[in-house]
């Protein structure tokens, strides 16, 4: 019998249940994928908390690596036994096996293990978007990266650095700071849990010779919003791409002008990979960077799929450096 994680009510990690989930044969255009490694992302926590509308009981998870186990009618170009991965809706990757649209699958090259694929695909493609479509290189090399030791943060630090960026990371512990420095950050500012971000902008200004950063990548949200705006150079960009500490406030356009003709953007991964062609092109860039050693996902821990609730609690506790992977 197939099993999956689902939730009957939104709430804390305890709402996640391990249930039997009978699986029909794959329909036309679908493939049965036996998941071998499942990526845990902060968006899964937002879903569980009910920040995005879901129909209950709801399955969970956007990404997994696995093996093709069966082909529905009309599927071409894929074979039983082939290694694949997916990183998109509908949710339901927290499962032993599932059916998925063939045209949204990515073939896995031999250079990427299943664990690495589950750790790097969602977070790495988000990083690809942030580096190639969001980063304002024309504003100079300095970039501020919040949650720099997180799953996205470490990859972003490394890729920006590789592209000539000068990264100032923000983390909550000295141990995390070491991990971020190892990915190439020029400076790392430690703001402990419960600490204030009020002095952050002054430190950033000092590190950048009074200028400020051209781009601030902010996935923390509410707690860091003001500090991010104040850290920007004139005409700088605040790329607000997450809300780990809560939703950021509404933007006053006049206020952006007053603070230095600033720009604010809300980049979203799903817009970046909106078509199968865009997904495959970005995945190719990512796997090439991985094969060349430019990017390697740091896996904080692997946990059994049944313990998805504990994995969520771990990620929410801010104790992780890099990615958490679930194993069915």
Q: Which residues bind ligand NAP (CB under 6 A)?
A: 41-43, 123, 126, 147, 149-153, 171-172, 176, 219-220, 223, 241-242, 244-245, 267-269, 315-316, 318, 320
Nearest to 148, CA basis, from 161, 136, 137: 161
Smallest separation, CB 244 to ligand NAP (Å)? 4
- For ligand NAP, the closer CB: 213 or 299: 299
d(C-alpha 201, C-alpha 250), whole Å: 20
Smallest separation, CB 283 to ligand NAP (Å)? 15
CB-CB contact of 105 with 31 (8 Å): yes
d(C-alpha 71, C-alpha 58), whole Å: 25
- For ligand NAP, the closer CB: 28 or 194: 194
Where are the alpha helices (H) located in the chain, listed in sequence order? 42-49, 114-129, 151-162, 174-182, 200-207, 225-230, 253-258, 269-272, 276-291, 308-316
- CA 326 to chain CA centroid, Å, is 15
Smallest separation, CB 80 to ligand NAP (Å)? 31
Smallest separation, CB 32 to ligand NAP (Å)? 27
CB-CB contact of 16 with 309 (8 Å): yes
- For ligand NAP, the closer CB: 126 or 208: 126
Smallest separation, CB 40 to ligand NAP (Å)? 7
Smallest separation, CB 269 to ligand NAP (Å)? 3
The H or E element that residue 236 is part of is strand 232-240
d(C-alpha 202, C-alpha 192), whole Å: 17
* Cis previous bond, 57, omega within 30: yes
- For ligand NAP, the closer CB: 4 or 123: 123
Smallest separation, CB 214 to ligand NAP (Å)? 19
Query: 205-219: b or e for each residue (b if 16 or more CB lie within 10 Å)?
Result: bebbeebbbbbbbbb
- For ligand NAP, the closer CB: 97 or 129: 129
Smallest separation, CB 7 to ligand NAP (Å)? 18
Phi, psi of 308, deg, nearest 5: -60, -35
- For ligand NAP, the closer CB: 101 or 265: 265
- For ligand NAP, the closer CB: 21 or 313: 313
- What is the number of other CB atoms lying within 10 angstroms of the CB of residue 318? 16
CB-CB contact of 315 with 40 (8 Å): yes
With CB atoms as reference, the residue minimizing the distance to ligand NAP is: 150
- For ligand NAP, the closer CB: 62 or 142: 62
């Amino acid at each position: 019998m197939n099993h999956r994680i689902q939730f009957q009510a939104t709430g804390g990690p305890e709402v996640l249940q391990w249930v039997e989930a009978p699986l029909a044969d794959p329909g036309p255009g679908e493939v049965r994928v036996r998941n071998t490694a499942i990526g845990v992302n902060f968006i899964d926590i937002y879903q569980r908390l009910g920040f995005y509308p879901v129909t209950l009981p709801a399955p969970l998870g956007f990404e997994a690596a696995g093996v093709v186990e069966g082909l529905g009618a009309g599927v071409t170009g894929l074979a039983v036994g082939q290694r694949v991965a997916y990183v998109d809706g509908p949710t339901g990757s927290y499962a032993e096996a599932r059916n998925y649209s063939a045209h949204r699958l990515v073939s896995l090259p031999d250079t990427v293990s299943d664990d690495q694929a589950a750790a790097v695909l969602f977070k790495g493609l988000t990083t690809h978007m942030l580096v190639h479509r969001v980063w304002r290189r024309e504003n100079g090399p300095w970039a501020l990266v919040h949650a720099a030791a997180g799953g996205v943060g470490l990859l972003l630090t490394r890729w920006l650095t590789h592209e000539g960026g000068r990264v100032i990371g923000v983390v909550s512990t000295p141990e995390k700071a070491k991990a971020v420095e190892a990915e190439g950050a020029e400076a790392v500012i430690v703001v402990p849990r419960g600490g204030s971000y009020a002095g952050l902008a002054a430190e950033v200004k000092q590190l950048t010779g009074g200028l400020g950063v051209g781009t601030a990548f902010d996935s923390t949200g509410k707690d860091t919003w003001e500090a991010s705006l104040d850290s920007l150079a004139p005409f700088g960009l605040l790329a607000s791409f997450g809300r780990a500490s809560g939703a950021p406030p509404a933007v006053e356009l006049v206020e952006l002008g007053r603070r230095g003709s600033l720009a604010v953007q809300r980049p979203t991964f799903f817009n970046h990979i909106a078509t199968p062609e865009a997904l495959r092109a970005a995945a190719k860039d990512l796997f090439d960077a991985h094969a060349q050693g430019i990017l390697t996902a740091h896996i904080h821990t692997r946990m059994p799929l049944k313990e998805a609730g504990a994995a969520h609690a771990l990620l929410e506790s801010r104790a992780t450096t890099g990615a958490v992977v679930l194993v069915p």
